[in-house]
Amino acid sequence: MGIFSEIALWSFIAALLVAMIAAWCQYSRLKRTPAVTATTRHAGLKAIYVHAGPYRIFARVSIDGEDMPHIPAILVHGLVISSRYMEPLAEALRHHVTVMAPDLPGFGESDKPPHALTLVELADALHAWLRACEIPRAILIGNSFGCQILVELAIRHPEVIDRLVLQGPTTDPKARYLLFQIWRDFLNQRREPGNVGRIARIDYAKAGLFRAFATMKILIRDRIEEKLSLIEAPVLVVHGTRDPVAPRDWARQVSTTLPHGRFVAIEGGTHTLNYAYPNEMAEAILPFLLADREQLLQGVEA
């Protein structure tokens, strides 16, 4: 090997090491991002920790929620990302209902079990958290993969479900492949206002890549469409008309398969309505959240 080749090789190795050190520093910095920020406080939220079964679970909770007469609304996050990105929707809803947004085990600020929890384990952990919070029945609002967790919860523990809101439910059976999901997510990021990617980077760092990839496989393999007909509670399916991850025909299929399903579309909305279009989403779902449950089961319009 000539002297110039050796110089080139060592230059490459040095550059690679510098890049790895920089990436590790960035990763470590993201992991240290505090749970509660000025944005959290501005949204009227506080942080709580609750022991639920073997897990210590973190949640963002509306400060003035104790005075609300209605049952609480629980916001359930999507794939790998934590309840941090639920703060805009929580702020938009908190003057109408008590809002609580937990980080499920393995994500955000909650305990990190040694293995990635299965869909059943995630649903059972959410159920255990509800019991630990002494919430016998709740409104549950999910985004993306959070909808899959809520469907599993509704089948396994129907007694805790007052009503469900499924916003951008995954996974569309026509796109049950990892590359399809990555492409659709890329399209959504190009269309979506705001910077949810910044929050995603924080939460991926906190969850770790192994847990992220393992949970992605769960998202893709779950056959949510085979479970929808078993849900007894009223359900509102919310669709953003520019959502490439959960397209309109799939969202419509979800609502028509549900025994007590309803459908609402938010014009111009994308996949992460709770973050990018929180006020529009709140306006669309509040009539359903505040309506009488028996009337919803009878098909009366909210």
CA distance 288 to 296: 8
Classify 60 as helix, strand or coil.
Answer: strand
Query: What are the pLDDT digits (tens) for 223-232?
Result: 999 999 999 9
- pLDDT value at residue 147: 98
Residue 184 has pLDDT above 80, yes or no: yes
Considering 27-41, 155-169, 288-302, the range whose residues carry the highest mean pLDDT is: 155-169
Structure tokens at 154: 């509704």
Q: How far apart are CA 272 and CA 240, in angstroms?
A: 9
**Per residue in 220-243, is it b (16+ CB within 10 Å) or e — as a string?**
eebebbeebeebebbbbbbbbebb
Query: Pick the residue with more confidence: 144 or 198?
Result: 144
Q: Cα–Cα–Cα angle for 126, 277, 282, nearest 5°? A: 60
**3-class DSSP state for residue 70?**
coil
At 150 the pLDDT is 98
Contacts of 52 (CB under 8 A, 6+ apart): 125, 128, 129, 131, 132
The mean per-residue pLDDT over the stretch 252-271 comes to 97
pLDDT on residue 258: 98
Please determine, for residue 23, whether its predicted confidence score (pLDDT) is greater than 90.
no
pLDDT band with cut points at 50, 70 and 90 for residue 99: very high
Distance CA 127, CA 167 (A): 20
Q: What is the pLDDT of residue 7?
A: 61
- Residue 57 reports pLDDT greater than 70: yes
Does position 34 have pLDDT exceeding 80, yes or no?
no
The pLDDT-based confidence of 64 (bands split at 50, 70, 90) is confident
Question: Which range has the worst mean pLDDT, 13-27, 64-78, 137-151?
Answer: 13-27
| For range 73-77, the mean pLDDT | 98
Q: What is the pLDDT of residue 204?
A: 85
Q: What is the mean pLDDT of the chain?
A: 89
Tell me if the bond preceding 171 is cis, omega within 30° of 0: yes
* pLDDT band per the 50, 70, 90 thresholds, residue 35: confident
- The answer on pLDDT for 8 being more than 70 is no
Confidence check: pLDDT of 25 > 70? no
Cα separation, 193 vs 180, whole angstroms: 22
Digit-coded pLDDT (tens) for 123-169? 999 999 999 999 999 999 999 999 999 999 999 999 999 999 999 99
Q: Are 31 and 205 in contact (CB under 8 A)?
A: yes
Give pLDDT, residue 28: 58
**Predicted local distance difference test score (pLDDT) of residue 13:** 59
Long-range contacts of residues 207-212, Cβ cutoff 8 Å, at least 24 apart: 207/80, 207/106, 207/107, 207/108, 207/112, 208/112, 210/116, 211/80, 211/106, 211/107, 211/112, 211/116, 212/79, 212/80
Residue 298 has pLDDT above 90, yes or no: no
**DSSP, residue by residue, 153-187:** HHHH-GGGEEEEEEES-S--GGG-SHHHHHHHHHH
Amino acid in the structure at residue 121 = E
Q: What is the mean pLDDT of residues 246-263?
A: 97
State how far Cα 253 lies from the chain centre. Answer: 21
Q: Could you tell me the sign of the dihedral formed by the alpha carbons of 257, 262, 267, 269, in that order?
A: negative
